[in-house]
Amino acid sequence: MDLKSLDEKLSRFLRPATYPVALSMVADREQLPPAMAKAADRPSPMLVCQGVTLARRYGWKVCLTPQDMVCPLGALALGFAPPTDEFLSGHTGVPNWVCDDAARSVVAEAIPKLPHGQAGYMIAAPLAQADWEPQLIIVYGNPAQMVRLVQALVHHTGRPLNFSTMGGIGCASYISQALITGQCQLVPCGAGDRIFAMAQDDEMAFAIPYAEVDKLLSGLEFTDRAGLRYPVTPYLRFHTEMPDTYQALMKELADED
C-alpha cells in the first residue's frame, strides 16, 4: 500500500496527535534511502526514543548509528553494542533503579536484543514522508486510540494481544521485540521515553510490523462499521432528568404555549 494512503487511513481511524512513524533497521550505507545517507553523515548523539520523537513530533527524517548512541540499553536493544558479561551479570549498576545486581541480571537477560552487528543504522521518518518500505510503523496515542488498534487485531483472531513491560527500555519492545516476533506490540511509555523523549502522561506506543498492516487496516475498517470508533461515540439517546426547578420552569413554559 502507498504510504501516504496508509497514513491517511490511520489518521482517519485514530486521529493521532503526532505523526505515525516509519522505521527500519538497515544493515549498511548502500541500503539507505538517499535522504538518509545524507543524514548519516551528521553526528546525532541521542537516545533511540528521542529519535523516534523527532520523527513523530517535528516531522524530521532521522538516521542513527552506533556512534550516536548515548543510552547503553537502547544500543544493546538495537544490536548496536554487544551485551557484555559484566552487563549480563548485573554488576554495571544499570538500570540504576533496580534493587540489586541479581535483579539487574534478570533485566539484562529479558531485554529483547537484535543480533549485534546485524544493522548499522536505524532510520525513522513520518510515515507519509518515508521513501522506503518500512519494517515497522510506530503509532503513539492515548489508551482509547490504542484500544482501537487492539480491537482491529482481535477482530481477526479472537485472541487477546499479550505484551510485557519493565517500565522502561520501551525501544526494546516497540522495535526489537516487534522485529524479532513479527507481531504487533503495545508498549506503555517508560522512564526514558517520558523523561528524555517527552512522551506525555496519556501516551502509549503501538508497533505494527509492515506485514501486519493490511490485516490491521481491514480490522479497523470492519470494527468502525460495527460502531467501535475514535473519538469514542458515547450513547446519548437517553432521557435526562433535570433538577426540579428546571422541570417546573419547562412545564410552565409549555403551559404558556
Domain count, the chain: 1
Which residues 6+ apart lie within 8 Å of 196 measured at CB?
47, 49, 50, 71
Torsion of CA 107, 110, 112, 114, to 10 degrees: 90
Q: Can you give the pLDDT at residue 1? A: 74
| 91: containing domain | 3-256
Instruction: Write the pLDDT tens digit of every residue in 206-222.
Output: 999 999 999 999 999 99
Q: What is the mean pLDDT of residues 48-59?
A: 98
Most distant CA pair in the chain, distance: 87
Instruction: Write the pLDDT tens digit of every residue in 136-167.
Output: 999 999 999 999 999 999 999 999 999 889 99
pTM of the shown model:
0.93
Q: How far is CA 37 from the centre of its chain?
A: 25
Instruction: Write the pLDDT tens digit of every residue in 92-140.
Output: 999 999 999 999 999 999 999 999 999 999 999 999 999 999 999 999 9
- Residue 2 binned pLDDT confidence (cut-offs 50, 70, 90): very high
Q: What is the mean pLDDT of residues 53-62?
A: 97
Closest CA relative to residue 171, chosen from 113, 228, 239, 120: 113
Element (H, E) at 73: helix 72-77
